[in-house]
Structure 1
């Protein structure tokens, strides 16, 4: 028997063994990888499954992209790339307009700039690596880089939630206490709120990050996702992960729910103030200033909540649907937020129109 046929027989045997263990494997990845590389990986996975190899920190993880849709990766990359391009151009445009227009130097627009920066971090933290998987099959990611990506993703999701709460506070003060708006939300207060929102996001996600570094990953290093999503990484650990699971629920209900309740209470007060205005035109004009904020809130919280519920309770949902939803809630808000604020905010819309007409003359 030749060496090549012997190795081929070993690969087939290992693939059948792997299939009967109940684990998932990416057939396309196995078929397209060189023989010597395949054998090494399959051997390590087989040893991991039998618990003969234990390692606390694997050197690399392997991101499979969207399992089951590997043949369509290139086509899926087109809308992903388009959303990222719109997000980058739109958010940089918002930042540029606010910076160059003195009339926009106020609390609402400072919070909008914070939102734009957060959106840029969220989308940039996942999409370049996702596109490298789709286009070049660069599936490996360093262990530390994977956990860093996971930390920044969840940290800035919490930060974005806090920014929406801060923007709700700004709208509440502007509509319910307009004469005190400039004294309550001074630039120093806006800076303190922004710093508190960032510190809250960084500190509250830190325990999950530290726990993930300590877990023993002795099953496999294959992540069935396009990025290092926390629940996807948690499934690879062979330790008791109930503590971090409960902590994740604590973060959801005691942080995100607190923000949502605060936003809801703020808008109840805003609606009371709006409906107490004497004329219909005044009510529409005042409420119109909150329209963009409400749209942005809905486009952030609804996909985020749907993704979380899908992971927790959608056990009968196909894996590729899980992964697609996990990408959508990180890509849609960064793309839609600058469009929403650009279209619905008169000052930004007027500045954009002026820039286009000015360039045309």
Structure 2
């Protein structure tokens, strides 16, 4: 005898109560969204977290607290009707290990000379962190061109233009301005004989996708990890940028003036591994540099007055900035990735490379 089978509708409803009209999330028909199941409530209700907002949905589905699900908006008039599409893609140990391995080599990784796509190299150079002068467009270019938003940009284009005559030209323009889009286009049109030469590009595209999945899972905590290229003479290497905008589920993190925390982690050619942690509120900031030894700390410390002067020149007020002889784990290439994983309460991973 087969037992334990639960049959239910794949739909759930968020009721529009008259006294709570403004508490409903702003959703559009046919929109695909992800939600986290916070807890199960009596009478077939469940509390969900959608776009940083807590809502109560009526459902017959068997769901688990902590589970993340993919939903489609069927209707958003009087009530919001959602359809369960499936569980959100999980971040596997293999994917996380792959990201750690991406930064584990002191040489340029990946070997961008092996990416046989001209425009990819041009985009990498355009996004790369350079030491000659400040670049105010560094972060916007990194977000827009690194492939992190590729699927979202394509979805917006398709939903906004339907089948208009100019959509092909607009899609071609998007492809030229996005690393992941460039690689996917080249891979889709490659003949079998050329595909071997595109192995590095395919691996790089997979790495970008793993970063997308990692950031998706940590988005409710307001933290995002971005790899950024560094151009040094004739080669590229990659550093890490962790942006922490605060937990979306906490009311005090919804205000315009909130604390932003940034962490850089990169391997300097002469100074060795360097990590910088800064906290910024409006245009006031404090920070610290974590370095491999005392001599390197003293050298960087001697440069701090100049750094403060430069920050003052762009209207930033730097308070305390210190240098610390770091523990090895604090400046290891996996430290920022582990920060995102350890704070997730649904899993703990041991990463071995």
Q: TM-score range by the shorter chain?
A: under 0.3
Larger C-alpha radius of gyration, 1 or 2?
1
TM-score by length of 1: 0.24
Q: Which has the higher helix share?
A: 1
Higher percent of residues as strand: 2
More RCO (CA 8 Å, sep 6+): 1
